[in-house]
Structure 1
Amino acid sequence: MTRFLPLIDVPQGDLFNALSRIGPVLLSNPSLPLPVNSYVLLDGNASNELDHIIPWLDEGAEKVVLPLASAKEVIGLIPQERLVLLLDAVSVSAVSDKVRNAVSGVLLKTPEIDLDLISSVSTFFSKSAIFVLLDSPNIPSIYNIRSLLQSGANLVLPDSQLTLDVSSSTHLNVADVFLAPLTSDRADGLFPTIVCTDTGHSMGLVYSSIESVRESIITGKGVYQSRKHGLWRKGETSGSTQEVVSIRLDCDADSLEFRVIQHGSGFCHLERQSCFGEASGLPLLEKTLQSRFENAPAGSYTKRLFNDPALLRSKILEEADELSRAETEYEIAFEAADLIYFALTKCTAHGVGIADIERSLDKKAKRVTRRAGNAKPQWSASKPAPAPAPVPSVTAINPNAPIQMRTTVLEGLSEEERASLLRRPVLKSDEMIEKVKPIVSEVRSRGDAALLEFTAKFDKAKLSSTCVFPPYSQESMKIPLDVKEAIDKAYSNIRKFHAAQIDGSTLKVETMPGVVCSRFARAISRVGLYIPGGTAILPSTALMLGIPAQVAGCREIVFATPPRPDGSISPEVMYVAHLVGASAILKAGGAQAVAAMAYGTETVPKVDKIFGPGNQWVTAAKMLVQNDTDALVSIDMPAGPSEVLVIADHTANSAFVAADLLSQAEHGIDSQVVLVAVNLTSEHLEQIEIEVDKQARALSRVDIVRQSVAKSLIVKATTVEEAIEYSNDYAPEHLILHLENAPDKVQFILNAGSVFVGPFTPESCGDYASGTNHTLPTNGYARQFSGVNTLSFQKHITSQEITSDGLKGLGPIVATLADCEGLQAHANAVRIRLGTMNL
């Protein structure tokens, strides 16, 4: 609240600096730029200054004070809350209702404090603040000032009557006027004082006295009153000083708020910013960035951002683009947080703080003139943003343009060019992990409550429970007969192949006489199987993950799949869960489902290993939890977009090749599709491209295929050997061999998730029902990972059994090696036994 409004002629000097700390000032001689918290006064002779009113308000003036004649001219042109009417006592009766209702305040010029007059004016202007300017050289007493302020009016005093001197008899001390309405209900007469940052975040509670406030106003330093030790000049001994930004009274005039800029280790004696705990949100981010700006190690990501303006600019543009594309509440919050982080990094690099941003926002809010608000041409909706970050959404493409792949030739490529052909799109795993951390943390700490909230947000399904447990109702598994028969046959084939993989034997090797080493397999007890879906029906993934878990003998098999909008699970997935003996079905998707299985909740069983494909949120969550020792969970493999590489020679059927390429291209716009053409004629290659275009146009997902095919690649090779070498370097998820004598070429395949041999082996068969598993390594991980198989659900344990005679031969060797490593207890464990034997 205002209460005391000093009238300033020249806004400079110690007096002005002190006055600006305790509230707004009224300028009688305004000029741009205006000081912060300024009111502007135009007297009766200033009608020629009306053209300046709008610029002053746009520059940030809180209010403009105009005489009646001038005010009439601007009514309707400036907002009511920004206009104060300048009147003398005799002019009040000349004010019309139109003028009275168009102002937010009245500045009443009067020769003396007349409480009856002030009350009468206040009644007439019932919705306006009343300011009283004493038009007299006589200085009012503090008693009269207090009476005026207690009546609810605000006092205006010219700076010629004010001083910082505490002993002056000819002027009023600024602190005495400011504190005139302040009262204390404490026996010691002190005033409770809240100390805040310059952005209004509380740091602690202290007490003030008239003396301490007076010193703070004069010096601009944080000075308070200790109840035990007298005046407390903050930081006098610790160095943690404060610069006072503002001092305000509360609405009841019985406490104070100091806003300060804190230096040193912090306000609290525990060397924290606040006595109420560590900062959070934007203040914490600002503090962290300021610290890293000063101390970030060379080579760190934050240091790179500070030192590389181009990198920081691209990150800001990227995050702004991602925010503009976000749709759900949580996605919008995530992307907004990312954008704020990089924007504040730029601010920190240039010495701009949150307080500066807030001041700019406040100033913008005060503008009277407004721009149209249209986007600049380069950002308008009619034009694409420059270099937008790739996102998995469908972009409009000319429907009449050919749907065709790009072409390159292997022969003559440099190492760099060849490496570029092998490179997949960059997966921003570190950024995605940061995005899923809050989701994982919420589920970990709040369990089912968080899980239900996220399911409502992301899957648009409001559930009362998180899981379905067996026995599963017949109604929930009701599916068409032909679909049931297809699932049953697929189940039989997949089970037959995976049952043959099980390691049920015990390996025994006698490494030396009396020393027998063994290895045996045991099932992983509890596994979590992620089944992507929601509105989609994906029983195939449920089969591919559930069957090897069942065959391996896993004790608990937990399905996780997004529910449909009505909260149910697709009956096809329910039926597969019944077939494989799933012990629970978690009705959730995304990172929240992964977190629930990794840590367990009140109802969701904790698992030991998580399997299954998913989007980038699921993949990031899997990578995050596998590195958390508290979760104690492993995952099957990293994942990326679906891939197929087709090697075709002169024997290849063009329609077959095109169909195989499109079977992966329809997965998503980021699908990776490669055709390695072995010495094909231009006519043969053209026929394949014609088939791609023709078949693609007949697909329901043609808009997705247009984009994935446009980024796909035809690589021309001269020999089968050259083609296979390229494929081994690429390490595709799916490899299809349309080759003469294709079975003979399998022996040369070193890196692939799964191989499809010959013209009548479409990749689709492996996806659904041939018997092999379709959960395969992508993104080049086929160099070091296998696809999911029965052994993925087993672990191997070794054992050894040594006889006394065996220890006689082995013991000295072990003791010698233990001595060599300085591990005396290891050697002793052998020697103490050897000592009981008759050697």
Structure 2
Amino acid sequence: MSVLLPLLDGQPDEALLSVLRRIGPVIVPALSTQQISGDVARYILFDHAASFNLDEIVEQLDQGAEKVIVPLAWAKEIVGVLPVERVVLILDVNNASAVSETVRDGVSGILIKTPTLDVDFISSISRFFTGRDVHVLSTNTSSVPSTSTLRELRRSGAIPVIPTSLLTLSEGTATQINVAEAFTAPLVSDRPDGLFTTVVTEDSRSLGLVYSSVASIKESILTGKGVYQSRKHGLWRKGETSGATQDVFRIRVDCDLDTLEFHVLQHGVGFCHLNRASCFGHHSGLPLLERTLQSRLAEAPEGSYTRRLFNEPALLRAKIMEEADELCRAESKEDIAFEAADLIYFALTKCTAAGVSIADIERSLDLKAKKVTRRAGNAKPQWINAQASSSTPKETAATPPPPPKKDIDPEAPIRMRTYNLAETTPSARAKLLKRPVLNSDAMIAKVRPIVDAVRTGGDAALLKLTAQFDKCTVLKDTPILRAPFHEPTGLDPSVQAAIDVAYNNVRAFHAAQAESTPLRVETMPGVVCSRFARPIARVGLYVPGGTAILPSTALMLGVPAQVAGCKEIVLATPPRPDGSISPEVMYVARLVGASAILRAGGAQAVAAMAYGTETVPKVDKIFGPGNQWVTAAKMLVQNDTDALVSIDMPAGPSEVLVIADETCDPAFVAADLLSQAEHGVDSQVVLVAVGLPDSTIAAIEEEVDSQARALPRVDIMRESIPKSIIVKTASVAEALDFSNDYAPEHLILHLRDAPGAVPLVQNAGSVFVGPYSPESCGDYASGTNHTLPTNGYARQFSGVNTQSFQKHITSQEVTADGLKGLGPVVATLADCEGLGAHANAVRIRLRSMQ
């Protein structure tokens, strides 16, 4: 927790920089010519004079900057690209209210530039940015903030930013404030003696608990030595008599501003008066190993094994590689822990010989964690291609790599993983709720170049990407087909008849959802409020076409768009290699009245509909499921104000959760699980077993294995099923609690009283009640929509429906008599908010009626 943030506005002397290192980050202007050493925690300030360069911003973060501070105008280029916790926005009093919730939620804090340090104004801004750091910089550099002003700002939740030209190590003056005075000004003691509880740590390990006073804190800040306050003897300069002194690296304050943490380097015998490293006892674990190795480096006799390790680099190298191989081969929890301990011992031996401490390793880890760009992470060729020789004696093994990943054995049973909820810890339970998908930030970073290419390159870029990703190279002129479409050829008559039945059922259900009459409410006499629906004019419907042809998705998206009355319906789907569209999807496009078909898939199709191209019409809202690339592209464009497009939901890989009790038919349950597992290798299926005996679970697993082997997409299921889980529960209520936390796309109830369990459902995309309601019916033809929220988004989103394609407009009509009753209320509230023009718009009418 920062108490204040210094801003380098000149070239401070090294003495001041040394002090600033101890109290937290320093703001460094990006355009400044000043050089500051890498060990100083720093925020990089890109002010309005700088030109936007994302590569430069990322480079600063990769080089260890804690955060970057950027103008509000850059927000749309940064929010969603850089980690939230690494971005701070620059605001001034004129644009502080212009921040949208999307932008606010995409940054860790703000830096307000203001000519006056108005605590009330800053407090009001802080309320909008609750949970984020609010930094305040006075643009009036002719006066220095007083300690009382700093105290009020910090207690209001704001962090003062003070230019280094206003800071001094000497006594404060009218134009400068002492650094230590500024640091201690906001601190608040909750003790009668006014002291501050202080935790002393070294390398993240507690050494002891002491107390500090304002005087001791100031001396520690200015001298860099451990100085505390003895409750009996006054100022206590650690090690003054014993020689066990401390160098203070960092002083931090807790969130309540009443407790301190000193990070120190302890010299001598240790911190404790009993000549131990810590008041809490001797070191254990890695700290003990480090101290032991340091002692052996200095004292181990010649000929001893440890001395050989220090003196013979080849031996130490061989042992490190040997133990790394042993760790790679270990399988049980106990063996992995045992081999990891061996590897850490030899690795730390090498570090100790080179003078590298655990603290050095931790600093390197912290620096790596700050990197925004990531390497692919692939192993080097020698570690992929080399084979470990099982006949090589352990003591002489040379550079054996871990065994290469084996191909999936087609003869191996296709099995899910099983867990008992009663034996699962809260953290393990949380892991069961996660889907096997990539991090959304990582996916957005991957799709951004594709989206940007289409946004700037139009049709040319879209055609190039379609050739690259959809393997269609014959689209030379335009990716779009305009209605009226030709009669599809090669359509099986039985498929056409099935589509017709599905179309009628889906249309009947979605037509019933349409709002036919406006909502009209008289809230008080003479004041009538209304709400009425209007169709979204232009919609884009994404129909996947990767591993399966999905005319059903075209139905589920096209029918409600048609029922809602959307004027332009653009259907996007990957083309076949010859540039054509599958006859099934083409037939549905004609049925639902699509105005255009975009022959493209993936992120490039989403981008084309979001921004428009020379031939592709821009849409107002994008619908449809897809893989992680499609989902990430949808999430990216909806946050771009240049696109001005919304999406239905972040729908990703398909999923199903089945709850089954002892009345279930194992064959039915297995079939339901496989119906979703075949969608893709990143699909996930979950079976929640309510009191099922092991024999029934085994029967279900046997059915999964045997049915999967008889299905055409078995290779996909060999990958998706092992990622999926069986969760044992004791009751229906416990099963539904887990399901509600999981929030599945599809929920199937194989229960004795399935209808009776429906009231317990809080989060699900669509529910299938009873043994004769397979999820397949909802996917195709029962009438409900199959475009549903996945990845847990059923907590917040509904599935696609007719109202998804409508927007609602409110209106109000106030009569003269109605304004007489309502007007004074409105004027009073407007006055309360200080908005005089709002109040005047009412009062001028009221006066005209007098």
2:577 to 543, 556, 565: 565
Cα distance in 2 between the residues matched to 1:621 and 1:432: 9
Matched residues in 1 for 2:64 and 2:648: separation?
41
Aligned-residue identity in percent? 67
Equivalent AA in structure 2 for residue 623 of structure 1: M
CA displacement 1:453-474 (0-9 Å, x = unmatched): 1111111212021110111112
The answer as to whether partners of 1:477 and 1:572 remain within 8 angstroms in 2 is no
2:824 to 799, 802, 812: 812
CA apart distance, 1:378: 5.0
Cα deviation, residue 263, structure 1 = 12
Q: Is the 8 A contact 1:734 1:756 kept in 2?
A: yes
Residue 675 of structure 1, CA deviation = 0.8
**Do the aligned residues in 1 keep the contact of 2:544 with 2:573 (CA within 8 Å)?**
yes
- Per the TM alignment, residue 671 of structure 1 is displaced from its structure 2 partner at its CA by 1.5
CA–CA distance in 2 between the matches of 1:510 and 1:278?
54
Query: Which residue is equivalent to 2:566?
Result: 554
Shift of the alpha carbon at 1:302?
A: 7.8
Q: Deviations over 1:238-292 (max 9, x none)?
A: xxxxxxxxxxxxxxxxxxxxxxxx99599xxxxxxxxxx9999xxx958962686
Tell me how far apart the structure 1 counterparts of residues 547 and 437 of structure 2 sit (CA, whole Å): 29
**Amino acid paired to 2:776:** S
Aligned counterpart, 1:683:
695
- Cα gap change, 1:287 to 1:642, in 2 (>3 Å): closer
- Measure how far apart 1:706 and its partner are: 1.9
Aligned to 2:596: 584
1:376 aligns with 2:393: no
Shift of 1:435: 1.9
Q: 2:726 aligns with which of 703, 710, 714?
A: 714
Q: Per-residue deviation at 1:647?
A: 0.6
Q: Alpha-carbon deviations, 1:198-244, whole Å to 9, x = none?
A: xxxxxxxxxxxxxxxxxxxxxxxxxxxxxxxxxxxxxxxxxxxxxxx
Residues 682 and 704 of structure 1: is their aligned pair in 2 closer, same or farther, counting only changes over 3 Å? same
Find out whether 1:407 has 2:435 as its counterpart.
Answer: no
Over 3 Å counting, the alpha-carbon distance change for 1:663 and 1:385 in structure 2 is farther
- Report how far residue 639 of structure 1 moved: 2.4
Does residue 1:293 correspond to 2:63, yes or no? yes
Judge which range, 713-722 or 771-780, deviates more.
Answer: 713-722
Per the TM alignment, residue 716 of structure 1 is displaced from its structure 2 partner at its CA by 1.1
> What is the distance in 1 between the residues matched to 2:373 and 2:645?
37
Give yes or no for the alignment of 1:673 onto 2:685.
yes
In 1, the alpha carbon distance for the partners of 2:373 and 2:847 equals: 75
Could you tell me which runs of 5 or more consecutive residues in structure 1 were left unpaired when the two chains were aligned.
Answer: 1-261, 267-276, 325-373, 389-393
CA drift at 1:406: 1.5
Distance 1:397 1:563, change over 3 A: same
Partner of 2:356: none
- Whether the aligned pair in 1 keeps the contact of 2:768 and 2:774 (CA below 8 Å) is yes
What is the CA–CA distance in structure 1 between the aligned matches of 2:606 and 2:552, rounded to whole Å? Answer: 20
SS at match of 2:670: helix
Deviations 1:134-182 (A, max 9, x none): xxxxxxxxxxxxxxxxxxxxxxxxxxxxxxxxxxxxxxxxxxxxxxxxx
Specify the alignment match of 1:320 in structure 2.
Answer: 376
Residues 1:646 and 2:658 aligned together: yes
Q: Which amino acid aligns with 1:818?
A: A
Q: 1:441 and 1:636 mapped to 2: Cα distance? A: 21
CA distance in 1, matches of 2:522, 2:447: 50
Q: Describe the SS at the equivalent of 1:320.
A: coil
2:745–2:789 Cα contact (<8 Å) kept? yes
Secondary structure of the residue aligned to 2:848 is coil
Larger Rg: 1
Rounded to whole Å, the distance in 2 between the matches of 1:822 and 1:287 is 40
CA deviation string 1:88-136 (max 9, x = no partner)? xxxxxxxxxxxxxxxxxxxxxxxxxxxxxxxxxxxxxxxxxxxxxxxxx
Q: Does the aligned pair in 2 maintain the 1:292–1:302 contact within 8 Å?
A: no
| Aligned residue number for residue 425 of structure 1 | 436
Moved more, 702-711 or 284-293: 284-293
Q: Equivalent residue of 2:715, what SS?
A: helix
SS at match of 1:735: strand
Please report how far the alpha carbon of residue 681 of structure 1 lies from its aligned counterpart in structure 2 after TM superposition.
Answer: 1.8
Relative distance call for 1:535 and 1:711 in structure 2 (3 A) is closer
Aligned to 2:153: none
Deviations for 1:714-764, whole angstroms, at most 9, x for unmatched residues?
111111111111111111111000001211211111110000000111111
Change (3 A) 1:740 1:318: farther
Per the alignment, do residues 425 and 824 of structure 1 end up closer, same or farther by CA in structure 2, a change over 3 Å counting? Answer: same
Aligned with residue 746 of structure 2, among 734, 749, 762: 734
Matched letter for residue 831 of structure 2: D
Equivalent in 500, 504, 509 of residue 497 of structure 1: 509
Distance 1:672 1:292 in 2: 35
Deviation of 1:400 after TM superposition, in Å, equals 2.2
Asked if residue 777 in structure 1 is aligned to residue 789 in structure 2, the reply is yes
Contact persistence 1:775–1:787 (CA under 8 A): yes
User: What do the CA deviations read for 1:797-822 (whole angstroms, capped 9, x no partner)?
Assistant: 10000110000000000001101111
Q: How do 1:113-192 residues align onto structure 2 when only pairs under 5 Å count?
A: none
What secondary structure, in the 3-state scheme, does the structure 2 residue paired with 1:550 have?
A: helix
Cα distance change, pair 381–663 in 1 and its aligned pair in 2 (3 A): farther
Partner SS, residue 702 of structure 2: helix
Equivalent residue letter for 1:796: H
Structure 1 Cα separation of the partners of residues 840 and 363 of structure 2: 58
Q: Which residue of 2 aligns with 1:198?
A: none
Alignment check: 8 A CA contact 2:663 2:750 kept: yes
1:201 corresponds in structure 2 to none
Match of 1:92 in 2: none
CA–CA distance in structure 2, aligned partners of residues 385 and 759 of structure 1: 50
Cα distance in 1 for residues equivalent to 2:514 and 2:431:
40
1:448 match: 459
Report the AA paired with residue 422 of structure 2. Answer: E
State the AA in 2 paired with 1:432.
M
1:626 corresponds to: 638
1:700 aligned residue (708, 712, 715) = 712
Q: Which residue of 1 aligns with 2:764?
A: 752
SS at match of 1:376: helix
Corresponding residue for 1:657? 669
Name the CA distance, whole Å, in 1 between partners of 2:385 and 2:410.
25
Cross-structure match for 1:11: none
Q: Which moves more between the two structures, 768-777 or 449-458?
A: 449-458
Contact residue 737 and residue 757 of structure 1 kept, 8 A: yes
Question: Are the aligned partners of 2:628 and 2:653 in contact in 1 as well (CA < 8 Å)?
Answer: no
Q: TM-score, normalised by structure 2?
A: 0.56
Gaps of 5+ in 2: 1-30, 36-49, 69-82, 88-359, 390-399
Q: Does 1:615 align with 2:671?
A: no
Q: CA deviation at 1:293?
A: 2.3
RMSD across aligned positions (CA)? 3.3
Counterpart of 1:575 in structure 2 is 587
Give the alignment's TM-score, normalised by structure 1.
Answer: 0.57
Aligned pairs for 1:499-514 (under 5 A) are 499-514=511-526
Q: Do the aligned partners of 1:448 and 1:601 also contact (CA within 8 Å) in 2?
A: yes
* Whole-angstrom CA distance in 2 between matches of 1:603 and 1:615: 25
Is 1:532 equivalent to 2:544 in the alignment?
yes
Shift, 1:452, TM fit: 1.2
One-letter identity of the residue aligned with 2:694: S
The residue type paired with residue 320 of structure 1 is: A
The partner residue of 2:482 within 437, 460, 469 is: 469
Which whole-Å CA distance do the structure 2 matches of 1:305 and 1:484 have between them? 65
Per the TM alignment, residue 295 of structure 1 is displaced from its structure 2 partner at its CA by 4.3
Q: Secondary structure at the match of 1:835?
A: helix
Q: Cα gap change, 1:381/1:536 in structure 2, threshold over 3 Å: closer, same or farther?
A: farther
How far apart are 1:672 and its partner, in Å?
1.4
Report the counterpart of residue 235 of structure 1 in structure 2: none
Q: Could you tell me how far 1:709 is from its partner in structure 2?
A: 1.5
Q: Provide the secondary structure at the position in 1 that maps to 2:376.
A: helix
Q: Which amino acid aligns with 1:716?
A: K
CA distance in 2, matches of 1:279, 1:759: 59
Verify the 8 A CA contact 2:58 2:373 in the aligned structure 1.
no
Question: Please, which moves more after superposition, 415-424 or 511-520?
Answer: 415-424
